[in-house]
A and B are shown apart, each in its own frame.
Chain A
Amino acid sequence: MAQTIQTPAPQARTFRLPIRLKLEPRLETPNWLPWATTIGSILTALVATALILWYVGGDPLQSFRAIYRAAFGSVGVFSDTLVKATPLILTGLACLLAFRMRLWNIGAEGQFYLGAWGATLIVEGVLGSDASAWLFIPLMVLSGFFFGAVWGFIPGLLKARFNVNEIISTLMLNYISLLWVAYWVFGPWSERGFQLTPTFPRAAWLPRLTDYAALVKDLSGLTIHLGFVFAILAVVGVWYLLERTRFGYEIRLIGDNPNAAQYAGVNIALMTIMVFMLSGGLAGLAGMSEVSGVVHRLQDRISPGYGFTAIIVAWLAKLNPWAVIPVAIIFGGLLIGSREIQPSGIARMLQGILLFTLISSEVLNHYSIKLERIKA
């Protein structure tokens, strides 16, 4: 639209503020600015949360201190924090991979559940309880990854074939996966009518540091398990995939400019399905790691919303695989810490506010904001 056509036709009955926000595009973004805005948005979110806590009659400083102490106060609790960070790294990577292609996979939660179910299937349905760990662990990893990928395949196919909005389809699949797991733990796999499966045999547990306490005494009580190593390996893998392979290049190309990718002959439909499957597989691996490394059984509502927190983790990491690790550790700490404080919605609320301040702050990186007086 040409700049000249700006007839200020008076709009009757429209309320106008005397000032107006004006965004001016920045020609270049200073290097320090993205970090400054990220830190600024985190602080803003903390202050906003503190205000709300104070308003409902809590003591925000004490709450934050309790969270910090419960999450980072000692080696023992830090190990618990890392345990919580493990599924967040994996699901965060799942979201990151899809988001890089501008595929909104909001279904990491459901894919997590399917992964947990797939791993349990090996214990409950495939191997006998006397099988060795060398058989259990690899099969559970494969099965968890596979069923997560299957759950990612569905929205991927629907998106590629029918252009079905993947946000809604993945969300609906989240609800379905929750009910699917509920059916198995209430029904066929239920232990004496309780809503959980029997405890897995020891061979199906991912080894933890505390298992070696007999050798090194200081390891006693440290719950961190092999899943954390999987998560770190996955970070390296996703980084390599994105930055060093043709596949990853095509993902980034589609994400940045789908039209250019189309002209360059990239098969977008196929990429959509493959990225969705890979993303689902990573989230499924998180589910496997959680049942095998932490809970040691499948139960109803096994995830406190890892798949949703993952969205924020990926976003806060600015879709950089390496940054997922520290961000996931902070959020893992938040999960651990928020168990200590009431009411339970605080963590979720903080996450929501944080996401808001983050995307608002991103505007600052690209535009400088000016307040402009409107002359009457």
Chain B
Amino acid sequence: MNFWTNVLSAGIGNGTALLFATMGELFAERAGVLNLGVEGMMLMGAVAAYGAAAATGDPWLGLLVGMLAGGFLSLLHAFVVISLRADQVVSGLALTFLGTGLSLVLGEGLASARNVPTIPTFSIPLLSQIPFVGPILFDNKSVLVYVGFALIPVVWFYVYRMRGGLHLRAIGEYPAAADSLGIDVYALRYFYVLLGGILAGLAGGAITLSITPGWFSEFTTSGYGWIAIGLVIFAQWDPVRAAIGSYLFGSLRRFTLDVQGVQDVFGIANPFFYDRNLQFFLEMLPYALTIIVLIIGSRAAIRKRLGAPAALGLPYVRGEQGLV
């Protein structure tokens, strides 16, 4: 396998974790609830999944526990912002603190766990034989990677082509209208915030049990949760663009690692190979790119006059609010 195949192949794996988290946030935001606690929920999912897998020896059970942990945290956010109508920004930040702190407390000593099982991998026959594309997408990949592939069309179809998706968009754009049609805005918002939490927990579990197995305290997720929130904005709340962004960022993460091992790039001496200290600038790339991606997303939103769900970040109070 050459350099680029390697980068993209690993990028698909990294991107899968990002994909789950991004899709989860996309659901919550489409429903009108901004949840900035993705990083915290991912860390909780990561530690719970890893801990449960270490204790039981069953990675699938671990993954389930991770998803439940993420979901549990998100319910806290849902209660505070939907029922109590508190500020969504502050509550999301609180969730990040809580998730990070709780995962550190629960993960104490977990870093030295041995023989923790991981999610199995397999290759898809025939498809994996396709030159270039095969090894990147279908060769010796974790089951979760294929789940991720399947998730993209499913989410797209759900959001744009199904009644449930219509309701989802309605409660995010104009909850009062949705309410008048008998859609239970509160219950649905709870549901989608919970779904977002479960997916963030899955993302965390995917990292510790499959993509980069192990628990490395708060560095386990290394800011993926925040990048996911940035990607949702970049994607203009569209699942397909969110998926592309996720895989792109996943690959970038791997690229910054691999490029340090190459002596020449297109015949030019590679500075990152010769000066180890320049690695810090490489590591900045995903974060810098997130900002650039945000600028692109925000400009597009202004130009096309579309973008965020109209009721994003606003509590819904029956009978009190007219147009948002």
What residues make up the interface of A, taking CB atoms closer than 8 Å to B? 1, 3, 5-11, 14-16, 21, 23, 52, 56, 104, 106, 158, 162-165, 167-169, 171-173, 175-176, 179-180, 182-183, 186-187, 308, 311-312, 315, 342-353, 355-356, 359-360, 362-363
Contact call A349/B105, Cβ cutoff below 8 A: yes
Contact segment of B54-62, B76-84, B206-214 = B76-84
Contact call A342/B108, Cβ cutoff below 8 A: yes
Cα–Cα, bound, A356→B80 (Å): 8
Cα–Cα, bound, A362→B179 (Å): 27
CB distance from B11 to the nearest CB of A (A): 19
Contact call B295/A158, Cβ cutoff below 8 A: yes
Cα–Cα, bound, A311→B187 (Å): 31
Contact call B102/A360, Cβ cutoff below 8 A: no
Cα–Cα, bound, A171→B290 (Å): 10
CB distance from B273 to the nearest CB of A (A): 16
Cα–Cα, bound, A6→B223 (Å): 44
Contact call B104/A349, Cβ cutoff below 8 A: yes
Residue from A11, A104, A349, A351 within 8 A of B187 (CB atoms): A11
A179 — which chain B residues lie within 8 A by C-beta? 280-281, 283-284
A5 — which chain B residues lie within 8 A by C-beta? 180
Determine whether B321 belongs to the interface, using a CB cutoff of 8 Å to chain A.
Answer: yes
Determine whether B264 belongs to the interface, using a CB cutoff of 8 Å to chain A.
Answer: no
Contact call A355/B102, Cβ cutoff below 8 A: no
B319 — which chain A residues lie within 8 A by C-beta? 1, 3, 6
Cα–Cα, bound, A347→B85 (Å): 27
From A21, A23, A179, name the one whose CB has the most chain B CB atoms within 10 angstroms. A179
Residue from A10, A56, A362 within 8 A of B86 (CB atoms): A362
Contact call A349/B98, Cβ cutoff below 8 A: yes
Contact call A11/B223, Cβ cutoff below 8 A: no
Residue from A7, A8, A176, A348 within 8 A of B100 (CB atoms): A348
Cα–Cα, bound, A56→B104 (Å): 12
Contact call B298/A175, Cβ cutoff below 8 A: no
CB distance from A85 to the nearest CB of B (A): 19
Contact call B94/A175, Cβ cutoff below 8 A: no
Query: Can you list the 7 inter-chain pairs with the closest CB atoms, starting with the nearest?
Result: A345-B104, A9-B182, A349-B101, A352-B98, A352-B97, A348-B101, A355-B94
Determine whether B103 belongs to the interface, using a CB cutoff of 8 Å to chain A.
Answer: yes
Determine whether B322 belongs to the interface, using a CB cutoff of 8 Å to chain A.
Answer: yes
Residue of B nearest to A351 (CB): B97
Given A9-B181, A363-B84: A167 and B89 interface contact (C-beta under 8 Å): yes
21 contacts between A and B (CB under 8 A): A163-B298, A164-B291, A168-B226, A168-B229, A169-B294, A172-B291, A179-B280, A179-B283, A186-B280, A342-B108, A343-B104, A343-B108, A345-B105, A346-B101, A346-B105, A348-B100, A352-B100, A355-B93, A356-B94, A359-B80, A359-B90
